[in-house]
Structures are given as C-alpha cells and as structure tokens.
Amino acid sequence: MIAEPQRALAELISRTSVLMLDFDGPVCSVFAGLPAPGIAEQLRNTLRRLGVPVTAELEDDDDPLSIYRYSTNGGPAVVAAIHDALVAAELRAVETATPTPGAVDVIDAAHERGRRLAVVSNNAAAAVATYLRLHGLTGRVDYIAARRTPEPSLMKPSPHYLIEAAATLDVSIRTCALVGDSGTDAVAAKRAGAYAVGYANKSGKGEQLVAAGAAVVIDSMTTLATVVREARGTPYLPGSVEDN
C-alpha cells in the first residue's frame, strides 16, 4: 500500500475504540475446505423438499447466504429449516477454514493498543465461536455479533449486528470501524454510522468497495496490524451518553 492511504487509515483508526472484523474474508476463508457451492446445492435441495420453488437465478447462486435470504419466500418454518441446515454446514466448514494471513496480528495489535475487538458476521455465531476456539482466540475477541436466530433481515447490509456490538461494548457506534471484504459490509457500516474499511482480497475488489462506501481500502491484514499498532490512543465515548 502506498503512503497516502496508510496515513488515511491511521487517521481513521486513531478515531476508533472498537475494531469490528467481518469473519469470512478478514479473519478466515470459511469455505476453504468445504466449498460453498456444495452447501448452496444442499440448501436448494432442502428448499425443494419443503415445496419451495427454486428460481433459475438462485439455481446459479453459489452463496449459501443467498439461499438463506431467499428462504423467506417459504415462510417462517422454511426459514428456520434452512437456518438450521446452514448452521450445521458452517459448523462443519469452520473445522477446515483457512486463517487469513495477518488476522491474528490485527487482533493482537488491537489489544496491545487498548482497542476492543468484535467479529461482526453474517455467518452463524456458533460457527464463529467454534473457529475462535479451534484457533485459541476465544478470549481475544470481546464480542461476536452474528446469526443467532433465523432472521435473514438482520444480516448485513442491515446495520443491526454493528449496532448490537457497539451497544454491548458500550461505545458510540461513531467510534467503531468495520473491516469487510464485501460491498454489504461497507453499506452496513455506513447505515450504522461506523467507519467502513474495505479489505480487497481479490484484484478489482477495491473499486467495488469504494463504490459501496468504504472510506479506506487495504489489500493486506498485515498492513492493518501495522497501522493499528502505530495509531494514536483510543477515544472512549460511552454509547449511553453519545447516542442519546
């Protein structure tokens, strides 16, 4: 990364008390060992079994979360069934998920500099917790804001999980930054009133993340760790005062 974006990132980080990390991308590659297209197919089969027609567009969608979003067309019982199947698949997937280089370094750097850490994910909270346990990170993440109930509408781009994390950690959302690799992360951060940092883990993603509202884009979590380590101290603005 060239110097100017790094300065912008340092400036942004100096204004944050909580670093929020999206899970799939910034922390690990969830479906590295259990590919997402196979899970999506399994969820489509569950939809069919429950009598919910699958559109041609959905037939070509390899993202299990898309199938979960679509399940609302079948009503609450179908959403619950797809949610349960998705949680089970994610719990299997995290056993073979690949850590993102530099992610643990970011977590360490945040703690060293007095910043708290939240994982803010559209994946199942149980799957995130399992991954953290398998990688010895349980005590180093202050909060997991993720799917606990079958409510697709709460997922990013909704600001819900960010607001939940800020409220639980008792900080103003305006002192939180979400690092994410999807446009929906940047949109959710903007809607919540948090800073959006784009993680461009594939070429061409940077422009897409900026278009979605990311204030700064990085291409390496190691760069973020360096900046977090060198950033100035944290502001502490209790959410109960700042946001009333």
Binding stretches for Mg ion (CB under 5 A): 22, 24-25, 181-182
Distance CA 223, CA 88 (A): 34
Rounded to whole angstroms, what are the CA distances from 139 to 108, 111, 118, 135, 236? 11, 11, 11, 11, 21
Minimal distance in Å, beta carbon 3 to Mg ion? 27
Instruction: Spell out the residues 6+ positions from residue 24 whose beta carbon is closer than 8 angstroms to its own.
Output: 30, 31, 121, 122, 123, 181
Tokens of residue 232, six digits = 């100035």
Nearer to Mg ion, 30 or 78 (CB): 30
Q: How many CB atoms lie within 10 A of CB 7?
A: 12
What's the distance, Cα to Cα, between the start and end of the chain in Å?
A: 38
Minimal distance in Å, beta carbon 180 to Mg ion? 6
Nearer to Mg ion, 168 or 184 (CB): 184
Minimal distance in Å, beta carbon 168 to Mg ion? 21
User: Nearest residue by C-beta to Mg ion?
Assistant: 25
Nearer to Mg ion, 22 or 164 (CB): 22
Nearer to Mg ion, 25 or 183 (CB): 25
Tokens of residue 113, six digits = 């500099």
Nearer to Mg ion, 74 or 213 (CB): 213
Minimal distance in Å, beta carbon 200 to Mg ion? 12
Minimal distance in Å, beta carbon 203 to Mg ion? 17
